[in-house]
């Protein structure tokens, strides 16, 4: 059972026991819980805390099982077998497929026979160097892997060795980025709709069917990820209080039905305030949905999803993307991906004075560093504003 200590700053220190060490002393793991908002009611804060503790206890238990199963002198390949048992159920399906492929095709053939304790930063650096060589790319689109792809590969090795470090099989992570020379990748520009385009979207939505207006509006006004939006249930939304809770995400494996999974990270489980304009749109959407439920009766799947297929089952997460593409074409608005609505939501909040910590919390980012990508967009907008004065000055001279 978890031990909970409330701190003066509103956070909670969670301690979980995971057995005894070789000297018979209790082994404890600890983690800090940060509520999604300090202004949450006690009941909602308690719900978030319970979800956090459940996830942390599950993680600790899985790690404890590995300790029991693992010999002290573990080879990299043998440890990867245990690593896979944990991560296969924690990572998203697409991420896990990538991790598994990279381990099986790249790292295990090269490092598999080494004992964990034998792996040094020099071995990890050698992996980086191999990935950077000509011919490392196998898809026929060039000779070299991009710096971003090299970093993704090394992230897999770092993840394995981080777990080995947590379990006490190695004292430090030999693949730690601080110990390696990794090629720097240039962060891609974040594409967002400008103010005029955003207003055009809002105006155009008035001409759309309720279900289209609702799904696009939720993306724009909340900045939620596509899978999180599709995973929303009516129980997650309090239209009177004006709040929306992200508790799950939906994904669809190729050739299989859509499935639920936990949000991307613990920080992604969050409750955010939503504007009244969105509450009204959702009320209208709920009313239309209730009429359809009454019409279909027992043929309607009662999963309580906000966005559904025609029979009430959870919506295919690809559907909002297709709906948004068609919407933009119908109204002659510049094409951006559905995810561009998330970026636009963040930049609009920052541009209108919302502090970066609040924006980070609304987006469900683990770190403010992730949210900093939007500051680049604001800097470009600020430069454009300054250029306006230069143009005005030029016109005066002429």
Q: 262 lies in a domain?
A: yes
Q: Are 102 and 234 part of one and the same domain?
A: no
**Partners of 281 in the β-ladder:** none
Both tokens of residue 334?
């510049």
The strands making up 243-246's β-sheet, listed across from edge to edge, are 237-238, 243-246, 270-273
Q: Which of 93-97, 200-204, 280-284, 329-333 has the lowest mean pLDDT?
A: 93-97
- Same domain flag for 154 and 115: yes
- Tell me: do 204 and 328 sit in the same domain: yes
6-32 average pLDDT score:
74
Q: What is the DSSP string of 305-363?
A: BSSB-TTSSBPPTTHHHHHHHHHHHHHTPPP--TTHHHHHHHHHHHHTT--HHHHHHHH
Q: Is the pLDDT of residue 333 over 80?
A: yes
Residue 111 near residue 118, CB atoms below 8 Å: no
Task: Say if residue 317's pLDDT is above 80.
Answer: yes
pLDDT of 372 strictly over 90: no
Q: Which of 55-64, 158-167, 204-213, 343-352 has the lowest mean pLDDT?
A: 55-64
259-261 and 237-238 as β-strands: parallel, antiparallel, unpaired?
A: unpaired
Judge contact between 284 and 210, C-beta under 8 A. yes
Say whether both 252 and 366 belong to one domain: yes
Lowest mean pLDDT among 97-101, 166-170, 196-200, 324-328: 166-170
Evaluate whether residue 169 is within a structural domain: yes
pLDDT band for position 389 (cuts 50, 70, 90): low
Domain match, 135 and 229 both:
no
Q: Work out the pLDDT band at 208, boundaries 50, 70, 90.
A: very high
Per-residue pLDDT, 69: 46
pLDDT digits (tens, 9 = 90+) for 106-133: 999 999 999 999 999 999 999 999 998 8
Residue 257 included in any domain: yes
Residues 144 and 234 in one domain: no
Mean pLDDT of 139-156: 82
Percent of the chain with pLDDT over 90: 50
Task: For residues 160 and 93, state if they share a domain.
Answer: yes
| pLDDT reported for residue 43 | 85
Work out how many domains the chain is built from and give that number. Answer: 2
Does 39 fall in a domain?
no
Average pLDDT, the chain: 86
* pTM > 0.85: no
Range name among 47-61, 63-77, 364-378 with the lowest pLDDT average: 63-77
- Within-domain flag for 164: yes
Report phi then psi at 145, rounded to 5.
Answer: -75, 145
What beta strand segments (E) does 167-307 contain? 237-238, 243-246, 249-251, 259-261, 270-273
In this structure, the answer to whether residues 202 and 349 fall within a common structural domain is yes
Domain assignment present for 86: yes
Is the predicted pLDDT of residue 304 greater than 60, yes or no? yes
pLDDT confidence of 232, banded at 50, 70, 90? very high
Is pLDDT of 19 > 80? no
Give the CATH number, domain containing residue 139.
1.10.150.130
Is residue 174 one of the residues assigned to a domain? Answer: yes
Confidence check: pLDDT of 381 > 80: no
Between 44 and 84, the higher pLDDT residue: 84
pLDDT at position 298 over 60:
yes
Residue 224 lies in a domain: yes
Question: Does one domain contain both 340 and 217?
Answer: yes
CB 309 within 8 A of CB 316: yes
Q: With 60 as the cut, is the pLDDT of residue 194 above it?
A: yes
Q: Are residues 242 and 344 in the same domain?
A: yes
Question: 218 and 360 share a domain?
Answer: yes
Among 128, 153, 179, residue at a domain's last position: 179
Helix (H, G, I), strand (E, B) or coil at 12: strand
CATH code where residue 271 lies: 1.10.443.10
**Which of 10-14, 280-284, 305-309, 315-319 shows the lowest per-residue confidence on average (mean pLDDT)?**
10-14
Phi, psi of 335 (to 5 degrees): -80, 125
Show the domain range for 110.
Answer: 70-179
Q: Which of 59-63, 85-89, 281-285, 345-349 has the highest mean pLDDT?
A: 281-285
CB 96 within 8 A of CB 87: yes
Predicted confidence band at 59 (pLDDT cuts at 50, 70, 90)?
A: confident
Alpha carbons 193 and 334: distance in angstroms, whole number: 8
Highest-confidence segment of 78-87, 160-169, 185-194, 321-330: 321-330
Top-ranked range on mean pLDDT: pick from 1-5, 13-17, 107-111: 107-111
pLDDT (average), residues 244-261 = 88
Is 267 in contact with 364 (CB distance < 8 Å)?
A: yes
Are 284 and 363 in a shared domain? yes
Mean pLDDT of the 162-186 span = 87
């Amino acid at each position: 059972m978890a031990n909970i200590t409330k701190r003066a700053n509103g956070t909670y220190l969670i301690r979980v026991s995971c057995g005894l060490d070789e000297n018979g002393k209790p082994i404890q793991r600890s983690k800090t819980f940060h509520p999604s908002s300090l202004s949450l009611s006690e009941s909602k804060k308690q719900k978030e805390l319970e979800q956090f503790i459940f996830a942390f206890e599950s993680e600790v238990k899985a790690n404890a099982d590995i300790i029991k199963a693992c010999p002290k002198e573990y080879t990299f390949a043998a440890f990867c077998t245990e690593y896979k048992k944990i991560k296969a159920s924690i990572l998203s399906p697409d991420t896990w497929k990538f991790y598994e492929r990279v381990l099986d095709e790249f790292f295990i053939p090269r490092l598999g026979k080494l004992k964990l304790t034998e792996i040094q930063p020099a071995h990890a650096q050698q992996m980086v160097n191999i990935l950077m060589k000509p011919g490392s790319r196998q898809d026929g689109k060039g000779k070299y892997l991009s710096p971003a792809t090299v970093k993704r590969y090394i992230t897999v090795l770092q993840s394995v060795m981080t777990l080995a470090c947590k379990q006490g099989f190695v004292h430090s992570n030999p693949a730690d980025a601080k110990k390696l020379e990794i090629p720097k990748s240039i962060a891609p520009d974040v594409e967002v709709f400008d103010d005029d385009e955003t207003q055009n979207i809002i105006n155009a939505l008035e001409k759309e069917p309720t279900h289209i207006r609702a799904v696009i509006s939720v993306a724009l006004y909340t900045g939620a990820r596509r899978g999180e939006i599709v995973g929303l249930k009516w129980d997650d939304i309090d239209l009177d209080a004006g709040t929306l809770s992200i508790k799950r995400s939906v994904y669809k494996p190729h050739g299989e039905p859509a499935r639920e999974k936990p949000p991307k990270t613990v920080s992604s489980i969050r409750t955010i305030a939503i504007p009244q304009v969105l509450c009204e749109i959702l009320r209208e959407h709920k009313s239309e949905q209730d009429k359809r439920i009454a019409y279909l009766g027992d043929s309607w799947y009662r999963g309580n999803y906000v966005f559904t297929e025609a029979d009430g089952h959870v919506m295919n997460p690809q559907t909002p993307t297709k709906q948004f593409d068609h919407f933009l074409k119908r109204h002659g608005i510049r094409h951006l991906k559905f995810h561009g609505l998330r970026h636009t939501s963040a930049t609009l909040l920052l541009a209108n004075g919302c502090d970066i910590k609040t924006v980070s919390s609304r987006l469900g980012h683990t770190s403010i560093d992730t949210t900093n990508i939007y500051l680049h967009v604001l800097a470009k907008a600020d430069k454009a504003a300054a250029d306006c004065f230069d143009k005005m000055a030029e016109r005066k001279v002429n």
